[in-house]
Amino acid sequence: ITVTTSTQIPHIVRRVISQALGLPMGRIRVIKPYIGGGFGNKQDVLYEPLNAFLTTQVGGRGVRMEISREETLGCTRVRHAIEFKVKAAARKDGTLVARKLEAYSNQGGYASHAHAIVANSSNEFKQIYKDEKVLESDAWTVYTNLATGGAMRGYGIPQAAFAAECMADDLALALHMDPLEFRKKNCMRPGYVDPHTHVKCNTYGLAECMEKGREFIRWDEKRREYENQTGPVRKGIGMAIFCYKTGVYPISLETASCRMILNQDGSMQLQMGATEIGQGADTVFTQMAAEVTGITEDKVNVLSTQDTDVSPFDTGAYASRQTYVSGMAVKKTGAIFKEKILDYAAYMLEKPQDTLDVRDNHIVDKETGTQLLPMEELATTAFYSLDRSVHITAEATSHCKTNTFATGACFAEVEVDMPLGKVKVTNIVNVHDSGKLINPKLAAAQVHGGMSMGLGYGLSEELLFDAKGRPLNDNLLDYKLPTAMDTPDLNALFVELDDPTGPFGNKALGEPPAIPVAPAVRNAVLNATGVAVDSLPMDPQKMVKHFKEAGLI
C-alpha cells in the first residue's frame, strides 16, 4: 500500500498505518512530496490509515481524500485554548518569592497531543523565572465537544508565555518598577538546569537579548515619553521574554539518520529522513554537508521528497529539532563520507591519507592546499576502475542525548485607538539567542514568519462556536488572519553564541519566534492605557468592552 501525504512525520505515519491495518511495515510505503507548511497540524496521523484501509476495500484502486476549507478550519487540529490562574508573592525590591499556577487545557473531543501540551506550558512557567522559595504548578486537560487541540508552533509555550509575561508586567506595575528591570532581576540565569528534565542552559544570551531590544526600541526614552497620556489615541511600549528547549530529549527519543552517495561526476546525493516543510531545512542540510565534506553546495543534490522505502529514518519535523538533531546526523555522515573519499584518493595518488584533504571539489595537500586531483576524476575512477571499483556511500545515525535552551525577547510599540478598540503595532522586534546561525537570511525569514503568526494569535484569530459546538467562522472571510495591510515592519536581531551541544553551535529557532509577540503587545497596551487585558485575541470588540469598564470611553 502506497500512501502519498502532506506530512511532517512520514516514518511515523508508516508505523501507525501498519498498526492500524495489521500489515507488516515492509508492505506500507509512505511518500511525502515537497510541501508548503506544517506548523504542527501535519504532526498527527489522521487520514492516512483511513485512506490506506479504503484502498483495500476497492480492490487496490487509488483513493483520494480531500477536505474543504470549512472542514480544514473546523475539523482539523487547533491550538489548545488554555485558561491559567496565577498567583505570585514578591518582595518590595522586586524579588519573586513564590508563584502558583493552575492551568486548564481545552482538548476538544479526541486525544491528539493532549496533556503533553499543558504539561509543556507548566514547564515554561517554571523555567523562565526563578522563585526564591517555591513554585506550585498544577495542570489539567479537559475533554469538550469543541475542535480537537493538537500540536501547533510552540507546543503550549505561547500560552504559558502569555500568562507568565502578563503577570510579570502586572507585578512590575504594582511594585512601581520598570518591567525590564523586573525581568532582569528574576529571569532564568546562566547555567540553569531544569530540576525534572535536567536540560541545561548551556549558552546564555537572554540578558544580552533584552539589552539589544532595549536599545533598538529606545525603551527608556519611550517609557518616559508615554507617561501621563490623555486623549482617545495613546501610545505604549511593552516586552516579553521566553525560553524554549531544542528537541524532545529526554522526554522522548531523539534519533535521525542521513545518507550520502557519491555520483560519477563528483557531485553528491544527500538523503534525509528529516522533512522540508517550508522552514529551509534542505538548504541548511546542504550547507552542512558542504561544510563537512569539502564538496561545494552547488554539487550537493538534496532530495526534498521522503519515501519510507528508501529514505533513512528520522522521526520528523517538530520541536525545532532538525538543525540540531538531524544536523548532527549530517555532520557524522559527512565525516565518514569524507574519510572514504580520502581513502580512495590515497590509493589513486599513492600518498598517505592523513596528508590529504577535500576542498572545493578537489583532493588537496592538507598542508599547502595544492590541488592534486579533481573530485570528478576520483569519482569516475572509483565507479569504473578495473582494479578497484568502489561505490562510495555513507550513512550514519545521530542518537541525540543532549538538549539546550534557546531564549529571547520581543519588544513592541503600539498605538491604541480606544473608541475604535483598535490596537496598531507600529514597531516590533524579536531578539533571539539561537546559537550560531547556519543561514542568517533564512533565520531572519523564520523570525518574520513567527512574528506574523504571533500577531494574528494576539490580535485577531479566534475560532468561534455556537452553543452546540458548531464552528461559526470556519472560512477565510470571517476567521481573521492578518494580511499584509495589518503587518508592520518586522525586525529580527540575534545574539550568536556557540552552543557546545549543537552540531555547528546552533540551537532552536523554528518555534521560538511565535512565542513572545502576543504578551509583548498586551504589555504595550497596558503601558498605553493602564488596562490589563488577560485573554486573547485582543480584538476591537473585546478592547472596547475593557476600555468602557475602565471609564476611558
Give per-residue pLDDT as tens, 266-297: 999 999 999 999 999 999 999 999 999 999 99
> Residue 148 pLDDT > 90, yes or no?
yes
What integer is the mean pLDDT of 408-424? 98
Does residue 387 sit in the same domain as residue 408? no
pLDDT value of residue 35:
85
Does residue 62 sit in the same domain as residue 89? no
The C-alpha cell that represents 297 in the structure block: 553546495
**Strand pairing partners for 268?**
262, 300
Give the helix ranges, DSSP H, for 240-298: 281-293
Per-residue pLDDT tens over the stretch 224-257? 999 999 999 999 999 999 999 999 999 999 999 9
**Alpha carbons 488 and 483: distance in angstroms, whole number:** 10
Is residue 142 in some structural domain?
yes
- DSSP state at residue 93: T
Does residue 395 sit in the same domain as residue 408? no
> Residue 26 pLDDT > 90, yes or no?
yes
Is residue 185 in some structural domain?
no
Is residue 28 in some structural domain?
yes
Per-residue pLDDT tens over the stretch 343-365? 999 999 999 999 999 999 999 99
Does residue 452 sit in the same domain as residue 529? yes
Residue type for position 165: E
| Proportion of the chain above pLDDT 90, given as a percent | 98
Query: How many helices (DSSP H) and strands (DSSP E) are in the chain?
Result: 14, 17
- DSSP state at residue 147: P
Is residue 187 in some structural domain?
no
Is residue 106 in some structural domain?
yes
Does residue 430 sit in the same domain as residue 387? no
Pick the last residue of a domain from 29, 47, 66: 66
Does residue 12 sit in the same domain as residue 114? no
> Residue 258 pLDDT > 90, yes or no?
yes
- DSSP state at residue 194: -
CATH, residue 500: 3.30.365.10
Query: In total, how many domains does the chain have?
Result: 4
Range of the domain at 391: 255-399
Distances in whole angstroms, Cα of residue 235 to Cα of each of 205, 222, 415: 29, 9, 4
> Residue 37 pLDDT > 90, yes or no?
no
Does residue 421 sit in the same domain as residue 541? yes
Residue 478's CB: how many other CB atoms inside 10 A?
12
pLDDT value of residue 195:
94
Does residue 377 sit in the same domain as residue 508? no
Does residue 107 sit in the same domain as residue 51? no
Does residue 145 sit in the same domain as residue 287? no
Pick the last residue of a domain from 11, 32, 66: 66
What are the DSSP E strand ranges found in 495-544? Answer: none
Residue 476's CB: how many other CB atoms inside 10 A?
12
Does residue 265 sit in the same domain as residue 241? no
Is residue 191 in some structural domain?
no
Span between the terminal Cα atoms of the chain, in Å: 64
**Alpha carbons 535 and 546: distance in angstroms, whole number:** 11
Distances in whole angstroms, Cα of residue 61 to Cα of each of 64, 66, 456: 10, 16, 42
307 close to 267: Cβ distance less than 8 angstroms: no
**Alpha carbons 116 and 141: distance in angstroms, whole number:** 9
3-state secondary structure 275-287: CCCCCCHHHHHHH
What integer is the mean pLDDT of 136-149? 96
Is residue 192 in some structural domain?
no
Is residue 189 in some structural domain?
no
- Average pLDDT of the chain? 97
pLDDT value of residue 36:
80
Does residue 413 sit in the same domain as residue 552? yes
Pairing state of beta strands 2-4 and 134-143? Answer: unpaired
| Phi then psi dihedrals of residue 417, to 5 deg | -95, 100
Helix (H, G, I), strand (E, B) or coil at 27: helix
Q: Considering the entire predicted model, what is its pTM?
A: 0.96
The answer to whether the bond into 537 is cis (omega within 30° of 0) is yes
